[in-house]
Amino acid sequence: MQAEPIFKAYEFGAQEKAQLNRDGNLILPGLLTPEACEALVASLSKIEDLITAGVKDPLPNRNAAEYDSYLESLIAHPQMLTLARQVLGEDIRFDHCVTLNRPSGNQGVSWHSHEYAEDDPSLGFLRIFFYINGFETDDGNLKVVPGSHHYRDAEIKAITDEELTQSWLADKKHPLTNEPFVIEPLSAPPATVALMWTHAAHAVNPRLPDSPTRWAVVYAYRNPGRPSRARWITEAYEKKLIPGAEGLLSLY
């Protein structure tokens, strides 16, 4: 059976790839099909209900695909794998599928980066975010520091923008443009897909008290070669036969 499309037509050529590699992130606005958005919201609401019901071990947000067949079906969806391979090359592994739903009043996340093969730039780790209902600046929005991923620093940490500016950003420059680093608050229309190299500095602003839940999920893929701290796959799930995902779920 042919999989239903999840993405509309999009351009990912040399220019888009260069932008992603220069900035560390790339926004693909409105890429998800309406059908995918509808199915995703249903799946993400289900995960939210499991969290509310106190389900644990594994945690429904961290191991989301293990709890929902639609989320699972996207791990090896042909369009997802094409996109991941356009960025990472042929040899990839699935790393995690984590829900990022942010209900009204959610506190967001402070500045951070993620680890993977700090000493080997040939091993990439890509985060593919689906922002189903998008976000406005200052309302559960993603913030980035273009170029920060070039440092492959897994330990970037700051609570506020000011703190990041005065600490990690203070003595560094964008290594390709030689410009000072700047914090960029993003906005995204509904159905947006965002790509991000895992070492990029990023944070999320709080969701406003009157805003509806921000529905979002991240699928992460990497070139195998190192252990991965974010690899949320249970031992049993690693052995599960998922059509199209043969060989994708193992660490190496």
Ligand X SMILES: O=C(O)CCC(=O)C(=O)O
CB of 196 to ligand X, least distance (A): 8
Q: Decide if 197 contacts 145 (C-beta within 8 A).
A: no
Position of minimal CB gap to ligand X: 100
| CA distances to 128, 157, 232 from 100, in Å | 12, 19, 14
92 binds ligand X (CB under 6 A): no
164 binds ligand X (CB under 6 A): no
Would you state the structure tokens that stand for residue 48, as one six-digit string? 């939210």
Identify the residue among 100, 145, 158, 191 touching ligand X (CB under 6 A). 100
Q: Which residues of 155-194 are buried (b: 16+ CB within 10 A; e: fewer)?
A: ebebeebeebbeebbeeeebeeeeeebebeebbbeebbbb
109 binds ligand X (CB under 6 A): yes
Helix, strand, or coil here: 155?
coil
128 binds ligand X (CB under 6 A): no
216 binds ligand X (CB under 6 A): yes
Alpha-carbon gap, residue 75 to 236, rounded angstroms = 16
- Angle among Cα 195, 19, 37 to the nearest 5 degrees reads 30
CB of 27 to ligand X, least distance (A): 12
Specify the residue, 78 or 227, whose C-beta has the smaller distance to ligand X: 227
Per-residue mark of binding to ligand X, 24-63 (x: CB under 6 A): ----------------------------------------
188 binds ligand X (CB under 6 A): no
Would you state the structure tokens that stand for residue 139, as one six-digit string? 């309302």
149 binds ligand X (CB under 6 A): no
Question: What residues line the site for ligand X (CB under 6 A)?
Answer: 100, 109, 127, 142, 202, 204, 216, 218
